[in-house]
Structure 1
Amino acid sequence: MFRLLRRMRRDERGQAMVIGAVAMLVLAVSVMASVSIGHGVYEKIKLQDAADAQAYSIAVKEARAYNFLAYTNRAMVVHYSAMLTVMSYVSHAVYLDQTLRSAASVLKYIPVIGAVFAAVEAALKFWKSAVEVVSRVLIPILTGLNIALWLAQEAMLYSTLLDLVTSDGNTVIQGTDPKAQVGVAMTHGTGGGNPGLSVLRAVTSTNYSNLKNFLHPLDDGPHSSGSVDLSDPTGTGTRSKLLRDNKLSDPDMAKYRLLMGNLANAVRRRWTAEGEGPVLIGRRWNLGLCLALFQVRIAKTADSQIKSFHEDFENNRKDQLYAADDIQIRVRPACFIGRWRTVFQLRFRAAADAQGGFHQEFGRRKTDDHHDWTGITPFVTSDPSFIRPWQYHFGYPCNVTVLSKDMGAVSGANNAPFQMKNLSENAFMKNVSGRIDAEGEIVGDGFLDMTWKYVGGYRMANGDFDDDADHFRQTTGGMMAIAVGRAVYHRPGEWKEEPNFFNPLWTARLAPVKTHWEDSAMRLMIREWDLSAGWFRNAFNY
C-alpha cells in the first residue's frame, strides 16, 4: 500500500495533459482574440477605404466640373477673339473700299491698263460685301454659342451638386464596402436617406458643408463665412443679368464684362490687335517723304478691341466690338527738324453693339450699318480666397465623408460578431473589484468581451459617460471612418498662378483630416469629433 502511494507520488505521467489543457485554453482565447481583433481591423480598413473612395470620388467630380468651366470659358474667349477678327476685316474692307476702290473707279478709264483697275474695283466691292454678310451672320451665331456654353456651365454646376450628395445606396461606397453606412452627420436634418439638394436646408449636415465648399470658389457663390441661398445656390440669377441689363456701374456685372473683355483683347492676333501688312493694302504701314521745304509722313494705323461702356454712354451701347483703320498725314517745316503737325486724317471704322453698331468712313461721321451684338454673355468665374489661406486653402474645395458600420455596439443588436459571452462569464476572468454596468454585469479590467458592446466608452453604475457613449453607439453602430478629399489647382513644374476657371489644371487628391477641419468646424458638423467630450477622452483609457 505504502509502496503504491510512493510510486504514485513519484510518477510524473499525466502532467503534459494538465499543461496541455491549460495551454489549449490560453491558445483558444488568444486565437479568438486575434480573430476578433483581426476582424475588427479588417472591417475598419474596409470602412476607411470606402470613406477614402467616396471623398476622392467627390474631389474628382469637383475637379472635372471646374475643368469643364475652364474649357468652356476658353471656348468663349476664342469666340470673342473671332468676333474681333471679323470686325477687323469689316473695318479693313471699308478702308480698301474708300481708298483703293475709289482710286480704281477713276483709273479704270485709262487706256490699256484700265481693265486692271476695273478688275480691282470689282474685287474690292465684292470683298466688302462678303465680309459684311459674314459678320452679320457669324457674330450672332458665336454669341448664341457662348450663351449655350454658359447654360452648359450652369447645368454642370447643378448636376455636380447632386453628385456630391453622399447618401445611402451610394455606388462608390457600396462597391467598396457593402456594410458601410452613411453617417448621421452627413445627412442630419434632411429627413431621408437620399436627400438630394434638400441638404441645403440642413445647415448642420456634412453634406451641406461639402456643397458649400464646392460653391464658395464661384465668384457669385456663397462666402465661406456665409450661408447658401436656397433660391439660387450657384449665383445663376446674378450672372443672368448680363443678358437683360446694362449697368457697368454695378460691380456684379462690371467684373464679368471687364474680365472677359480684357481676356479676349489679350489673345488677339497681331493683325487684329494693331495691324500689319504691305503698303497701301495692309492694316499698318508708314510712308515718309523729305522735300526741300518740308517733310511729309503718311501713317496707316489699326486697332481692334472689345470695349465696355457705362449705361449712360451714347444711348447705352453696352459692350462693343470695335475695329479701326485710320490714315493720318503729318508735316513739319524741315527734314528731321521741328515738330510734326497733323494736316489731314481719315477714319475708317466699324463697330458692333447693342445699338446696331456703326461705320465711320469720313471724318467723324458715323452711319448706322446694323451690326447688332448683345454684348458679353454670362459665364462662371472664380473668386479664390487669399485671406487666411491656410484656413481656406486658396479657394480649393474640400469635402468630408463620414461613414459608419453596425458592429453590434447598439444595445440589443442581434448581429454582434464574435461574441465570447460564455468565456467572459467564467469566474476566473472576472474582477470582483470592477465596475458594474447598467445591466448588473461586472466590467473589470480582466473582463473579456470581444463584442462591440462597450465601444465608445464604458457605462458605470452611476451613469457617467452614459449619454455620450450611447450617442456614439447609436450614430455609428460601433465604427466610424472619416476622409477628406480636395480639388486642387496645380500647373506642373515651377509655374505658380492663382486658382481660376480659365486653365483646366484642376486635379483631385485626398487630404489629411486635421490639417483642414479645425475642431470648431468638426464639432459643428460631427458631434462624435468633439475632443472635449468625456467619452472620447476616456475611450482610449478603457
Structure 2
Amino acid sequence: MFGMVRRMRRDERGQALVLGAVCMLVVAVAVMSSVSIGHGVYEKMKLQDAADAQAYTLAVKEARAYNFLAYTNRAMIVHYNAMLTVMSYVSHAVYLDRTIGAAAKFLKVLPGIGPVFAAVSAMIKAWVKTVEKIVPTLVNVLTQLNIALWIAQEGMLSATLYDLYSDAKRDKSIHVTDPRAEVEFSMARNASFRDVPLPALYADLGTINHSNAKNFTHVLDDGPRSSSPTMGPDPTGMQTRGRLLNRNRNRLSDADMAKYRLLMGSMANAVRRDWTATGEGPVLIGREWSLRLCLVVGELRVQKTADSQIKSFSEQFEGNRNDQLFAADDIKMEVRPGCGLGFLDWSTVFELHFRVAADARNGFHQEYGNQKVSAHHPWQGITPFVTSDTSFVDPWHNHFGYPCNMVVLSKDMGAERGDGGDGSQKEVFQLDNLSRNHFLRKQGTGRFNSGTAESKGTTNLEAGIQESVLDMTWKYVGGKQDVFAQDFRQYSGGMMAMSVGRAIYHRPGEWKEEPNFFNPVWTARLAPVQTHWDEENLGWLIPSYRDAKWLFNGVTY
C-alpha cells in the first residue's frame, strides 16, 4: 500500500490537464474580450459611416440647391439679354422708318427706280408693325418666365431646408448604412417634428437640425444672420425679394431693392451681344457706322451710334419708371473748317434720336431732344432672384460663407438610456446570454461590498457592479460617476458618431473667386469637426474641444 502511495506521488500524468484548464480559461476570456472589442469597433465603424453618409448627403443637397440657383439666375440673364435684343430691333426699325423709309416716300415717284423705293418703303413699314406687335408680347412672356424661375428657386430652398432636418425614419441614407443608427437627441428634441408643417420646424431652437438649416440660409443675401438665434418668419428672404414685384415698394433708395436691381441689371448688360450693345453694320442700314466727307469749305462727319441696356431709376425720376429696357439708334452730324485739320474741334449741327423704352409707365418712343412721344409698352422691371452674401469677416470661424451641417448619430449598446417602455431596464447588447443566465454572478469574495477605504465609501452593489460577472457590457461606457458620462449614456445609449459636411464653391484654378449664385461650381465635401461653427453642441459632445478652446484662449485646432 505504501508503495502505491509512493508511485502516485511520483506519477506526473494529468498535470497538463490542470495547466490546460487554466490556459483555456485565460484563452476563453481573451477570445470573449477580442470578440467584444472587435464587435464594438465594427459597430462604431458602421455608425461613423452612417454619420459620414448623412453629412455628405446633406452637403450634396446644399450644393445642388446652390447650383440650381446659379443655373436659374443665368437663365434669367439670358432672358434679359433677349429682351434687350428685341428692343434693339424696335429702335432700329424706327430709325429705318424715319430715315430710309421717309426718303423712299419721296423717291418712289422717280421714273424707272420709283417702284424699288416703293417696295423698300413698304418693307420697312411692315417690319415696324411686326416688331411693334411681337416685342411687347415677347417681353411679357420672358418676364413671366423669370418670375416662374424665381418661384422655382424659392421652392428649391424650402425643399432643401426640410431635407436638412435629419431623422432616421425619414432619411434612407442613415438606415441603409446602419439599420440600428438613431438620430442623437441634440439634433431633434421634438420627436414628432417630421409630422408637422415646415414652419413649425423653425421653432425647434437649439437643436443641430435647426442650426444646419440656419447655416444653409444665412448664405443667402436676405437670409438670417449667423448670430441670429432664429431664422425668423421668412428664413429664405422671399418676402423681401418679392417686393420687387410691387411698384410702390420697389424703391431704389431702399438698399434691399437697389442691390437686386443694380446687380441683375449690371449682369445682363455685361453679357450683351455686340449687335445689341453697339451693333456694327453697313452704312445707312446698320446700327453703328461713320461717314466722313471732305467738302470745299470744310469737313463733314456723320456718326450713327447704337446702345441697348437695362437702366434703373429712383422713385423721384419721372413718376417712378423703376427699371427700363432701353434701346437707341442715334445720328449726329458734325462739321469743322478745312479737311484733315485734326487740331480743330468738331461742331454739332444736327442730331436725330431714335429711342424706345419699356418701363413701369408704358415706355415711350423718343425722336427729338427730350420729347417722349408714342407710348410703347409696360415692363414691370427686374424680377426677384436669389443671390448670396458670403462673409469674409472672421473667415476661420465663418468658413468663408460656406454652409456646414453637423450630423450626430447614436446607437443603443446597452448603456443606461432608460427603459424599454415597460419600466424594465433595457437588455445589454454584448454577451447578453451570460448576464441572463447569471453565469458566475455574485460569486466574488465580497471584499469590496462595504464602505471601506478601497471603495471610498461606495459599495459595488450601490454602484450596480457585481463581482465575478464575466460579462463585458456598455453599462459604464465613458466612466462610472462622471456627469458627462452619465449624460452621454442617457442620450446616446453607449455609442455616438458625428460628422460635418460642407458645400464649397470651387472653380479649378480660381481659388480666390468669391462664392456666388451665378456660377454652378458648388461641390460637397466632408469637413473637420474641430472647425465647425456649432461650438455649443460641439463643446458638449467633445469636452476636449471645450478644454482646448479655454487652454489656447479661443484658438482651437
| TM-score > 0.5, shorter chain as reference | yes
Tell me how many residue pairs correspond in the alignment. Answer: 525
Matched residues in 2 for 1:92 and 1:369: separation? 17
Secondary structure of 1:104's partner? Answer: helix
Give the equivalent residue in structure 1 for 2:491.
475
Matched residues in 2 for 1:352 and 1:486: separation? 43
Matched, 1:320 2:321: no
Give the equivalent residue in structure 1 for 2:307.
303
Secondary structure of 2:308's partner? Answer: strand
Give the equivalent residue in structure 2 for 1:216.
218
Amino acid at match of 1:304: S
1:425: how far off?
Answer: 5.1
Give the equivalent residue in structure 2 for 1:339.
345
Task: Please say which of residues 349-358 and 10-19 is displaced more in the overlay.
Answer: 10-19
Amino acid at match of 2:429: A
Give the equivalent residue in structure 2 for 1:488.
504
Secondary structure of 1:187's partner? Answer: coil
Equivalent pair of 1:187/1:195 in contact (CA under 8 Å): no
Matched, 1:417 2:430: yes
1:360: how far off?
Answer: 1.1
Matched residues in 2 for 1:429 and 1:452: separation? 23
Amino acid at match of 1:358: F
- Cα distance, 1:105–1:368 mapped onto 2, change above 3 Å: closer
1:370: how far off?
Answer: 3.0
Amino acid at match of 1:284: E
Give the equivalent residue in structure 1 for 2:257.
253
1:470: how far off?
Answer: 2.4
Task: Please say which of residues 207-216 and 402-411 is displaced more in the overlay.
Answer: 402-411
Matched, 1:173 2:174: yes
1:195: how far off?
Answer: 6.1
Give the equivalent residue in structure 1 for 2:472.
450
1:152: how far off?
Answer: 0.7
5 Å matches for 1:37-436? 37-169=37-169, 170-188=171-189, 192=193, 197=198, 198-244=200-246, 245-337=249-341, 338-410=344-416, 412-419=425-432, 420-421=434-435, 422=439, 426-427=443-444, 433=454, 436=458
Amino acid at match of 1:397: P
5 Å matches for 1:459-538? 459=481, 465=482, 467-494=483-510, 496-517=512-533, 519-520=535-536, 522-523=538-539, 527-531=540-544
1:19: how far off?
Answer: 1.1
Amino acid at match of 2:298: F
Give the equivalent residue in structure 2 for 1:539.
none
Secondary structure of 2:47's partner? Answer: helix
Equivalent pair of 1:71/1:503 in contact (CA under 8 Å): yes
Identity of aligned residues (%): 60
1:513: how far off?
Answer: 0.7
Matched residues in 2 for 1:469 and 1:320: separation? 65
Equivalent pair of 2:442/2:468 in contact (CA under 8 Å): no
Long gaps (5+) in structure 2: 419-424, 548-557
Equivalent pair of 1:165/1:207 in contact (CA under 8 Å): yes
Equivalent pair of 2:331/2:351 in contact (CA under 8 Å): yes
1:203: how far off?
Answer: 2.1
Equivalent pair of 1:519/1:530 in contact (CA under 8 Å): no
1:153: how far off?
Answer: 0.6
Secondary structure of 1:439's partner? Answer: helix
Equivalent pair of 1:354/1:374 in contact (CA under 8 Å): yes
1:229: how far off?
Answer: 3.9
1:392: how far off?
Answer: 0.9
Secondary structure of 2:316's partner? Answer: coil
1:368: how far off?
Answer: 3.3
- Cα distance, 1:68–1:121 mapped onto 2, change above 3 Å: same
1:305: how far off?
Answer: 0.4
- Cα distance, 1:533–1:364 mapped onto 2, change above 3 Å: closer
- Cα distance, 1:262–1:446 mapped onto 2, change above 3 Å: farther
Matched residues in 2 for 1:304 and 1:137: separation? 19
Give the equivalent residue in structure 1 for 2:462.
440
Amino acid at match of 2:506: H
- Cα distance, 1:195–1:515 mapped onto 2, change above 3 Å: farther
Equivalent pair of 2:187/2:207 in contact (CA under 8 Å): yes
1:282: how far off?
Answer: 0.4
1:286: how far off?
Answer: 0.5
Amino acid at match of 1:292: V
For residues 26-78 of structure 1, the C-alpha deviation after alignment (integer angstroms, 9 at most, x for no partner) is: 11111111111111111111111111111111111111111111111000000
1:104: how far off?
Answer: 0.9
Task: Please say which of residues 447-456 and 468-477 is displaced more in the overlay.
Answer: 447-456
1:397: how far off?
Answer: 0.5
Matched residues in 1 for 2:161 and 2:193: separation? 17
1:439: how far off?
Answer: 3.3
Equivalent pair of 1:431/1:443 in contact (CA under 8 Å): no
Equivalent pair of 2:440/2:468 in contact (CA under 8 Å): no
- Cα distance, 1:394–1:446 mapped onto 2, change above 3 Å: farther
Equivalent pair of 1:173/1:180 in contact (CA under 8 Å): yes
Amino acid at match of 1:316: N
- Cα distance, 1:373–1:517 mapped onto 2, change above 3 Å: closer
Amino acid at match of 2:189: H
For residues 400-443 of structure 1, the C-alpha deviation after alignment (integer angstroms, 9 at most, x for no partner) is: 01111111101622243214553575549987845645633686
1:456: how far off?
Answer: 2.1
Amino acid at match of 2:299: Q
- Cα distance, 1:230–1:69 mapped onto 2, change above 3 Å: same
For residues 187-244 of structure 1, the C-alpha deviation after alignment (integer angstroms, 9 at most, x for no partner) is: 1257656566433212210011000010000000011111334321111110001000
1:283: how far off?
Answer: 0.4
Task: Please say which of residues 404-413 and 488-497 is displaced more in the overlay.
Answer: 488-497
- Cα distance, 1:368–1:229 mapped onto 2, change above 3 Å: farther
- Cα distance, 1:48–1:335 mapped onto 2, change above 3 Å: same
Equivalent pair of 1:308/1:318 in contact (CA under 8 Å): yes
Equivalent pair of 1:91/1:350 in contact (CA under 8 Å): yes
